[in-house]
Structure 1
């Protein structure tokens, strides 16, 4: 169970870090920190964010 929690946390941090690094490729101009921290919720619930998240990861 601890390993699963560690893997989930690692995935969360990795996804946020990748978005942070690719933020300039998105259509967003502000809110970098908030968008990077809330990425799992926004990917699930917001089509526009999901498209921009994919743009940020490409590179």
Structure 2
């Protein structure tokens, strides 16, 4: 029944949080973009380069 519910509307975040992390003991990196007001994850990026985050 939960799957049948419509998705909530996606709003553009006003305040964006950026946090990078390492996996595999510092050999692989990722970045999480978070809506700082609702604390929801906006995107998960496969690296931490500034060009990737800026795009």
Measured against the shorter chain, the TM-score band is under 0.3
More strand by share: 2
Q: Give the TM-score taking structure 1 as reference length.
A: 0.22
More helix by share: 1
1 or 2 for the larger relative contact order (CA 8 Å, sep ≥6)? 1
